[in-house]
Amino acid sequence: MPRTVLTFGTFDVFHLGHLRIIERAASYGERLVVGVSADKLNLLKKDRLPVFSEDERLAIIAALKPVDEVFVEESLELKRHYIERYNADVLVMGDDWAGRFDEFSDICEVVYLPRTPAISTTALIEKISAT
Ligand code: CTP
């Protein structure tokens, strides 16, 4: 049976750290599904709307070679539902979330990968705003 990997993120202002985690997530299985967080979820979580809309972010992620399927993550409370819906064998998250999803290890493997150093959407937005 091919292994399905699931990962989540906002992936706003797409950068190398995003690409690297998607490539590394894909290496854990044969099918990679990515949940891209909804605009309204970001408003709640980060108190601002993403630079790129969810449709734009979905289109960018869906076009990446390692990605097989994308969907909009509507709520942070639905992780278990998404794992089941997409039959995920592995949940991959950046280690900024380390330990936070261990509760799902009853239904899939949970893996936290180190973040790519020195790059983030927030830092990029600040850098661009300052120029
Ligand atoms: N990520 C990563 N390395 C980075 C930045 C992000 O591995 N340098 C990973 C995160 O751990 C997450 C995914 O990419 O699994 C999506 O992260 P996201 O929050 O969308 O990106 P950030 O750049 O962290 O955004 P922000 O600065 O708004 O928090």
Query: What's the CA gap between 109 and 14, in Å, rounded?
Result: 27
17 Cβ closer than 6 Å to some ligand 1 atom: yes
Q: Is the beta carbon of 31 within 6 A of some atom in ligand 1?
A: no
Residue 37 has pLDDT above 90, yes or no: yes
pLDDT of residue 46: 87
For the full predicted model, state whether its pTM sits above 0.95.
yes
Q: Is 35 in the pocket of ligand 1 (CB under 6 A)?
A: no
Alpha-carbon distance of 43 to 89, in angstroms, equals: 30
Q: For residues 94 and 34, what is the distance between their CA atoms, to the nearest angstrom?
A: 13
* Per-residue pLDDT tens digits for 50-76: 999 999 999 999 999 999 999 999 999
User: What mean pLDDT value characterizes the chain?
Assistant: 97
Residue of the nearest CA to atom 11 in ligand 1?
A: 94
DSSP E strand boundaries for 56-125: 69-73, 90-94, 109-113
Closest-CA residue, ligand 1 atom 4, reads: 17
- 10 touches ligand 1 (CB under 6 Å): yes
User: What CATH architecture does domain 4-130 belong to?
Assistant: 3-Layer(aba) Sandwich (3.40)
Rounded Cα gap, residues 34 and 64, in angstroms: 11
Give residue 1 CA to ligand 1 midpoint distance, Å: 30
